[in-house]
Amino acid sequence: MRPLEDLIRACAERGEASDWEEFVSRFHSLIASVVLRTTRRWDVTSPAVDDLIQETYLKICGDQKRLLTEFTPHHPEAFYGYLKVVASNVVHDYFRARHSQKRGLGQPEVSLDEAGSGTPTARDGADEIHRDILLREVDDILRSTLSGEQQSRDRIIFWLYYRYGLSAADIGRLPSISLTVKGVESVIHRLTSSVREHLAEREVS
C-alpha cells in the first residue's frame, strides 16, 4: 500500500484506474459510514446508499486541484475531514433535491427542518417562559463562576452537553475544544456542581 500522499498525488496528476481503485478501496469505510449515517437522518429505508457513495467519489475526482490542496502531510486528518464533508453534503443535497421535486409534483410538503432534524414540538407558553428563566439563571451562574481564557470554552462545553445533547466524546473531538472524554466530563462535573450549589443558595435566600 502506497503512502497516502503518493496515492493522492497519483490520483490528482495521473488519475489511472488503478490509482482510483486503491483510493476507493482505502476510503470506502469512511465514506460509506458518513453516507449511511447521514442517509438515516432523512430516510431509513433509502436504497440509495451505494449511489450516494458513488456520487461522493465522482465529486472528489471531478475536483483534482482541491484534492491536492486539501492534503497536507503534517495534517493528514484534515484530508479525512474533507472527504467526510463532501460525503455529508452529497447526501443532504440529494435529499433536499428529492424533497423539492416531491413538492413540485404536488406531494405533501416536507420542510427541511422537519425532514432533517425530526419534527419540532412546540412547548406551551408557560414551559417556554420557565425554560428561558432557568437558561438565563444558569448562564449567569456560569459567567460568574468562570473566568479567563477558558470561560468561553467551558460554557460552550456545558451548553452543548445539556442543551443540545452532544456526548462528551463528540464535544472533545470538536476543533478548538480538543479535550479527552475525561477532560470534557471533568468540565461538565465541575460546572454542574457549581450550578447545583448556586441554585440551592438562591432557593434558600
Letters for 125-144 (x = contact with another protein by CB under 8 A, - = none) are ------xxxxxx-xxx--xx
Q: Which amino acid is at 74?
A: H
DSSP letter (8 states) at residue 148? S
Please say which residue, 105 or 155, places its beta carbon nearer to another protein: 155
DSSP letter (8 states) at residue 108? P
Residues 21-60 within binding reach of another protein (CB under 8 A): 21, 23-25, 28-30, 32-34, 36-38, 41, 49-50, 53-54, 57-58
Site for another protein (CB under 8 A): which residue of 6, 15, 68, 109?
A: 15
**Torsion of Cα atoms, 11 then 15 then 21 then 26, to 10°:** 10
Instruction: For 154-187, give the DSSP string.
Output: HHHHHHHHHTT---HHHHHHSTTT---HHHHHHH
Task: Report the C-alpha gap between 203 and 32 in whole angstroms.
Answer: 51
Site for another protein (CB under 8 A): which residue of 45, 73, 176, 204?
A: 176
Cell output for 31: 465514506
Q: How far is the CB of 100 from another protein (least distance, A)?
A: 15
Sequence-separated (6 or more) residues with CB below 8 Å from residue 176: 153
Site for another protein (CB under 8 A): which residue of 104, 108, 125, 148?
A: 148
Please say which residue, 29 or 105, places its beta carbon nearer to another protein: 29
Letters for 91-130 (x = contact with another protein by CB under 8 A, - = none) are -x--------------------x--xx--xxxx-------
